[in-house]
Amino acid sequence: MFKRIFKKKNLKRKLQDFFKERKIPFSWRRIWLILIIVLVVLGGFFIGLVAYARSYEQRVLPGVYIGEQYIGGMEKDQIYILLQTKNDDLVSHGLNFQFITPEGRENDFILSPIIVAEDGSIELLYIDAEEESERLINYGKNGDFFEKIYKVLESRISKTHLEVENIIIDRDKINLEIKDRLDQYEEPARNADVNIKTIIPLDYTITTSSPGVTYEYSDAVDQIVSAWSKLKITDVIIKQNKEKAEILETDVKEIEDRIPEVFTHGGLQITYTDPHLKREYNWWIKLEDMKNWLSVQKTGEGDLGFGLVKEKVMEFFSDNIEPIVNIEAENARFEMNENGKVVEFKGSRPGIGLDKEKTYELINDAILQRSWHDEGITNEVQVMVEQVEPEIKTGEVNDLGVAEVLGVGISDFSGSPRNRIRNIANAIAKLNGVLIKPGEEFSTIAYTRPFTYEGGYYPELVIKGDEIKPEIGGGLCQIGTTLFRMAMNAGMDITQRRNHSLVVHYYNDPVNGLPGTDATIYDPAPDFRFLNDTDNYVLIQAQADYNRMELIFTLWGTDDGRTAYFTHPTVTRWIPYGETREVETTKIAPGERECQHAYTGADAFFTYFRQLPDEEEEKRVFTSHYRPLPQICLVGVEDDKTEQGNGEDEKITEE
């Protein structure tokens, strides 16, 4: 056949000429031999390419870097350990911020990405090593078979620099911590204003305006993320802004002739009628209040007038109106009686809250109108309120279908200090009797907030960078951990869970005493959540055994035949915490030392099994990484920055 083809295409003569020129006898056998050799070489090369490409199916492609760190050829567990180690190094170093004081002096402060308390910790910033290692393993492996081979060869020839993408960060909390440190240095621009000394006779002065100094830290978090994405540590430069006053003395002089008219119309009455009691309440903003709260304001349209300082009015609301008006919405609560029946022990009630913003706008506008005209002046303002409906109403619950124990979770809180026990008891009161609808996702934070003193919680001292400060709500991670164990024993679908960042004895497994079966919560995140994927309501019964110092959560519902259990945790490695770290601070007296505990780190895992009726058994592995943290001691030192610098060679360069 090949002879016919060659002859047909006049190739035979060309081949004969080719061999003749090279003094090689022409032979079809020799041609076949050459073709076979070529095919074998090409086939071997192709098979080699396939084998080489397949060798990277479970490894990072060659030539890949994160920042300057080479990760090509690493397997997933190697990437995971590398990222966790880098994460631990970054956390241990802390976040260092540099700024210029209004006097022109260089200053700095340290924030820790982890807030450490006696009973746990909260991470404000960390790399999700599990998600990131999975992403890096799969990088460049999309497409068909030949595209994957090409990508492996391309990566081998050229370097690929990637950045970490799975960085979890609480931007609001970090910005709040930065603001807290800079508040004492900020000097906002001061507008020209009036200072009313007396009303009768009217005596006042016009205060002068002055420029201000504020700090721009909106990009501070972006600077941190940019560095961490390359596995680098960086000092964050916070820029200083100089602000101009919006209202000058000349502006105030243009409207000062209206000051007498503000007081001529008398005080302002605020009224409210209770919709349930049909009782009317009245409050007065008296002339003396107006004298102390009066301020020059510029409206959105640019008009100047005399209004009331918002902060002062809000304080008036908090002290006088809110205690009367505000009624918190309450869900219907239920409990199990001795016969295992659900009985109501607390009915639902809608809530009412003072709409402070709208009420302030009405009050402020009533005063502003006095700056512009004398007719149609308002001397009375009606309080604005908003109604909040409860999530579970008494009338909605008829046949609950709650009759059996689905699962129980237990944790030990022995050795807890007084405030921690108080917080646990407060959370129990909030959770006991909570009903969860079919298909509803339960949120621990939603049912236990607000995490404030008014919400029933007490503070404890925590180390935050180079300061020791009170933090509200210690012990709530005990709640999250116990709910986690309860939900798994009941076979619920776990939709959100994160382990604590440190090994804390309160949360160790009650059977083998190892870490791994805990869940942390911190408003607004992380949260512990599970889905009620049954066809009936489920009810949480929360209680504490103060003799055994055990927290017990029981989930009641209707048994649909599902089964579930989880293994006890296994620790794959312990990580030493290293040497004590000292942080110098002027926040405590010189020579004093305030220290936190050292924490040994660990990597742990356990497996959660659950099987729904007529479905295959689900298997889910929960992995946990606990950071090693050395003992951190704050050491009080003298403030060597009390003397002002000359504001020249001490400044940080800002670009």
pLDDT per position as a tens digit, 413-430: 888 888 889 999 999 988
What gap in Å lies between CA 632 and CA 582, rounded to an integer? Answer: 6
Determine the average pLDDT of the residues in 536-549: 89
Question: Is 80 found in the same domain as 21?
Answer: no
Residue 249 lies in a domain: no
Residues 301, 228 share a domain? no
Q: Which of 183, 216, 243 is the last residue of a domain?
A: 243
Are residues 593 and 448 located together in one domain of the fold? yes
How many residues appear in the chain?
Answer: 655
For residues 222 and 343, state if they share a domain.
Answer: no
64 inside domain: no
- Which of 214, 243, 272 corresponds to the end of one domain? 243
pLDDT tens readout for residues 238-281? 999 999 999 999 999 999 999 999 999 999 999 998 877 778 99
The Cα 423–Cα 425 span in angstroms is: 5
User: Which segments of 242-286 does DSSP mark as H helices, in order?
Assistant: 249-253, 259-264
Contact 622, 604 (CB under 8 A): no
Residues 309 and 438 grouped into a single domain = no
Based on the domain organization, do 353 and 411 belong to the same domain? Answer: no
Domain end, chosen from 343, 364, 388, is at 388
> Per-residue pLDDT for 562 more than 50?
yes
Domain housing 12: 2-54
Q: Are residues 347 and 438 in the same domain?
A: no
Assess if residue 448 is contained within a domain. yes
Does the residue 149 lie in any domain?
no
pLDDT higher than 50, residue 652: no
Same domain, 205 and 273: no
State how far the Cα of 499 lies from the Cα of 519, in Å rounded to an integer: 5
List CB contacts of 487: < 8 A, sequence separation 6 or more: 407, 409, 494, 530, 555
Statement to judge: residues 615 and 479 lie in one domain = yes
* Residue 439 located in a structural domain: yes
Q: Are residues 382 and 406 in the same domain?
A: no
Query: Residue 316 falls within a domain, yes or no?
Result: yes
Separation between Cα atoms, residue 270 and residue 364, nearest integer Å: 12
Q: Is the pLDDT of residue 136 over 50?
A: yes
∠ at Cα 172 (170, 177), nearest 5°?
95
What is the band of 310 on the pLDDT scale with cuts at 50, 70, 90? very high
Please tell me the distance from the alpha carbon of residue 423 to that of residue 457, in angstroms, as a whole number. 5
Q: How far apart are the first and last CA of the chain?
A: 77
Q: Whose CA is closest to 73, among 121, 122, 137? A: 137
Tell me, yes or no, whether 63 lies in a domain: no
pLDDT of residue 221: 87
pLDDT for residue 649 is more than 60: no
Q: Note whether 12 and 124 are same-domain residues.
A: no
Domain count, the chain: 4
* 80 vs 578, residue with greater confidence: 80
Structural domain contains residue 190: yes
Structure tokens at 102: 């209004």
Q: What pLDDT is stored for residue 442 in this prediction?
A: 96
Q: Is 289 a residue whose pLDDT tops 90?
A: yes
- Whole-angstrom distance, CA of residue 596 vs CA of residue 591: 17
- In 123-273, which residue ranges form alpha helices assigned H by DSSP? 129-138, 145-157, 171-182, 220-228, 249-253, 259-264
Token pair 């009759």 in the structure block, residue: 403
- State how far the Cα of 571 lies from the Cα of 622, in Å rounded to an integer: 12
Q: Using an 8 Å Cβ cutoff, are 351 and 329 in contact?
A: yes
Same domain, 434 and 565: yes
- 3-state secondary structure string, 23-56? CCCCCHHHHHHHHHHHHHHHHHHHHHHHHHHHCC
